Structure 1
Amino acid sequence: MRRLVPALALLLALSGCGGASAGADGKLSVVTAFYPLQFISERVGGDVVSVSNLTKAGAEPHDVELNARQVGEITDADLVVYLSGFQPAVDDAVKQNGSGHAFDAASAITMLSADSADSHSHEGEEHVEESTSGTDPHFWLDPTRLATVAEQVGKKLAEADPEHAADFTARAAALSTELKTLDGEFSTGLKTCERRELVTSHTAFHYLADRYDLTQIGITGIDPEAEPSPQRLAAVAEEAKEHGTTTIFFETLVSPKVAETLAREVGAQTAVLDPLEGLTDENADYFSVMRANLVALTKALGCDS
């Protein structure tokens, strides 16, 4: 399906197809591009902010298409929180209709302070996380980076609504503390493991692997729909056997067939490692999914509890 041309979408929105005007319910209107950005906006914004998500639950965010109503929401919002380069349709709509009140999370990803880094050592903090077929956008799988973005969202909300600035700042700080606690759980849980090689269906876990000293071996690149060549499958199978891999990870929202094929080849099992692009369980949230990921990793890698 072709993306709706932003200019046409805006025309339709102005002719009556758009959403309600920002602030109609007396709350600050925040439009977010996909789940992790929705999560931090809701936590930092609290009950004085109304947050919507452009990506429907269970949908693949990479391929999101926007309708006229959603473009109208971007136009009318007090704040739009998105990640440039991740969702082309959102990038186009923000550029055409929302650039004056948009916050690009990419601008905050490399802003980790020494305190956020804690006792971890990161080589090349300035470098861009690369795979064989593109740049990994999944910064939120490193809780310290998500904490940095949450703090910046708090500042943007404070600019939009100075009356509640202190509340936004306090909630951002509280969320940052929770995220750093989660980071400590991962650091402890993955400190001593039999294996440190992480075999995944596609390379969505660079930030997680970099943070916790793991080596990611991806069957395919960044595109979750890409099909690996026979040569790539054979090469990953050889690496998996060499490292004694017991688990091939696949992810939610994507078919597990490739992971299952490789698992049969190397005599391993499969398990879910969730890149947290969206929720498939309405009772879950960022923290519960990340902790489920930690359980899966410690089991697969043979880590001491």
Structure 2
Amino acid sequence: MNIRRATAAVALAGATALALTLTGCSGTSASAKDGKLDVVASFYPLEYATEQIGGAHVHVTDLTPPGTEPHDLELAPRQVAAVHSADLVVYLKGLQPTVDQAVAQGGPAHTAEVTSYAPLEDHGTEVDGAAENHARTADGRAGDPHVWLDPERYAKIARGIGDQLAKADPAHAADYRAGADRFTARLGALDKEFRTGLTGCRAKTFVTSHAAFGYLAESYGLDQIAINGVDPESEPTPARMTEIQDQAREHGVTTVFFESLVSPKLARTIAGDLHLKTAVLDPLEGVKDPAKDDYFSVMRRNLANLRTALGCSR
């Protein structure tokens, strides 16, 4: 087991015990304080969608701090207590095991588990079969959890979140459904931008440091070559590094992409060996500065970087 995940599992046991005490003496929830629905989201894409759909009716707490890689989140006792007492918890089962355990142990009033709205697929992007703690497909295979990077799948998640907000707060159900309509319309427009922008490209293969872009590649007719697996902490073998270099040469790759929340060392090593450029392709698991960037601005930056790397003419 990944050492950080093992540590997180041990920490959760103590955090849960303390959280039960905190829940019992923490006073009223946010919903009781200010009339807003108290929602806990496990990481940025789910927080963002919930805020956009819920608007003024919701108070959303993100368990994963800005700029933090979410895969190995460790919950503090007050975060566990927040999960237990929330009106609604929005999470992706299998991505953050401590969140799954807190939900199972605490029994929040309502949950929106987003793989029930956008089922996971196996994109075959694990490194050395390291899938012990990963999210799973419906038939138990290791699944790629990065569904939000496909705007169409993200829209399905948004609809599901809107439905659960309406169930948790029926008095504002019409507003939540209207919020979901507005948000999914924006995602539909973004999807059209990607389809148009990634048409007529010289190449369709890209190399990335983290196997996060399988859904995006599938949706827009691209091929992803990943250095690391779905878990960005996984490490490729020397044989895998050689294979990546051979594939990059074969497909005329010009750019090796890395991301902002994990080390770019391997990506830069491969790019240096092959005399290629490097650029950022952001998996949007977290945003360093939400005041400056959001899902749409980062996705449009991803599109611009892909167009440059793939030689797209339109």
Structure 2 residue corresponding to 1:30, chosen from 35, 39, 47 = 39
Paired AA for residue 302 in structure 1: G
Name the residue aligned to 1:236: 244
- For residues 98 and 302 of structure 1, the distance between their equivalents in structure 2, rounded to whole angstroms, comes to 50
- For residues 77 and 15 of structure 1, the distance between their equivalents in structure 2, rounded to whole angstroms, comes to 13
Name the residue aligned to 1:217: 225
Contact kept, 8 Å, 1:13 with 1:71, in 2: the verdict is no
CA displacement, residues 195-235 of structure 1 (integer Å, 9 cap, x when unaligned): 10011112111111001010111112112122221111111
Structure 2 residue corresponding to 1:205, chosen from 213, 216, 233 = 213
Name the residue aligned to 2:89: 80
**Aligned pairs (5 A) from 1:111-130:** 127-130=121-124
Name the residue aligned to 2:263: 255
Change (3 A) 1:20 1:194: farther
Paired AA for residue 100 in structure 2: D
Contact kept, 8 Å, 1:12 with 1:68, in 2: the verdict is no
TM-score w.r.t. length of structure 2: 0.88
| Shift of residue 191, structure 1, vs aligned partner | 1.3
Name the residue aligned to 1:131: 125
- For residues 93 and 160 of structure 1, the distance between their equivalents in structure 2, rounded to whole angstroms, comes to 19
CA displacement, residues 128-165 of structure 1 (integer Å, 9 cap, x when unaligned): 44423442100000001111111111111111111111
Contact kept, 8 Å, 1:142 with 1:211, in 2: the verdict is yes
| Shift of residue 281, structure 1, vs aligned partner | 2.6
- Give the ranges of 4+ consecutive aligned residues of structure 1 lying more than 4 Å apart after TM superposition: none
CA displacement, residues 15-53 of structure 1 (integer Å, 9 cap, x when unaligned): 64x585241221111100000000010000010111110
Cα RMSD of the aligned pairs, angstroms, is: 1.6
Confirm whether residue 56 of structure 1 aligns to residue 50 of structure 2: no
Unaligned runs of 5+ in 2: 1-6, 132-142
Confirm whether residue 97 of structure 1 aligns to residue 91 of structure 2: no
Paired AA for residue 218 in structure 2: D
Task: Indicate the percent of aligned positions where both proteins have the same amino acid.
Answer: 50
Unaligned runs of 5+ in 1: 111-125
Aligned residue-pair number:
289
- For residues 51 and 64 of structure 2, the distance between their equivalents in structure 1, rounded to whole angstroms, comes to 15
Q: Secondary structure at the match of 1:136?
A: coil
Q: Secondary structure at the match of 2:12?
A: coil
Paired AA for residue 265 in structure 1: D
Contact kept, 8 Å, 1:59 with 1:278, in 2: the verdict is yes
Contact kept, 8 Å, 2:284 with 2:298, in 1: the verdict is yes
Paired AA for residue 298 in structure 2: V
Confirm whether residue 281 of structure 1 aligns to residue 275 of structure 2: no
- For residues 183 and 102 of structure 1, the distance between their equivalents in structure 2, rounded to whole angstroms, comes to 27
Q: Secondary structure at the match of 1:304?
A: coil
- For residues 78 and 285 of structure 2, the distance between their equivalents in structure 1, rounded to whole angstroms, comes to 22
Contact kept, 8 Å, 1:197 with 1:217, in 2: the verdict is yes
Name the residue aligned to 1:292: 301
Name the residue aligned to 1:39: 48
TM-score w.r.t. length of structure 1: 0.91
Name the residue aligned to 2:176: 168
